Every structure is written in C-alpha cells, then in structure tokens.
Amino acid sequence: MDYSEMKQKINDLEAEIKRLEDENSSLWFLLDEFEKSNISNPEYREMFTKVYDKLRYQTLMTVTADGEA
C-alpha cells in the first residue's frame, strides 16, 4: 500500500465516520421525539390533558350555523 492509497483510505474512513455521526445524531433525535410523543409519560400527559381540555371547551363554546345550543 503506497502513500496515496493510505491517504485515500483515511479520507474514506473520515467520510464514513462523519456519516455515522450524522446517523447517530438523527437516531437520538428520533428517540427523543418518540419519548415526547408517548402521552403515557407523566411529564407530557399533563400538558396533553390541558390542551385537550382547552380544545374541548372551545368546541363546546362554538356556535353552529343553526344556532343550536
């Protein structure tokens, strides 16, 4: 293996490392999003419940075209 082949191999490996680091970062982000979307998580359950209750209240307060109560 001469110098240019080793240099090319190093460049290829550095590119692969960069790709794997990007993939790793993306997977951690995705895992975090899955965790946040889990409404059974107590930390997010309360927030979800508040938003749902507010939406339900706003729906009840909306006047229909017929003016029904």
The pTM of the full predicted model, rounded to 2 decimals, is 0.50
**Are 21 and 27 a contacting pair, CB within 8 Å?**
no
The C-alpha atoms of residue 28 and residue 37 are separated, in whole angstroms, by: 14
SS3 60: helix
Q: Give pLDDT tens digits for 27-63.
A: 999 888 887 776 666 777 777 788 888 888 877 776 6
The C-alpha atoms of residue 31 and residue 33 are separated, in whole angstroms, by: 5
* pLDDT reading at 11 higher than 90: yes
List Cα–Cα distances, 34 to 10, 15, 55, in angstroms.
36, 29, 23
pLDDT at 64: 60
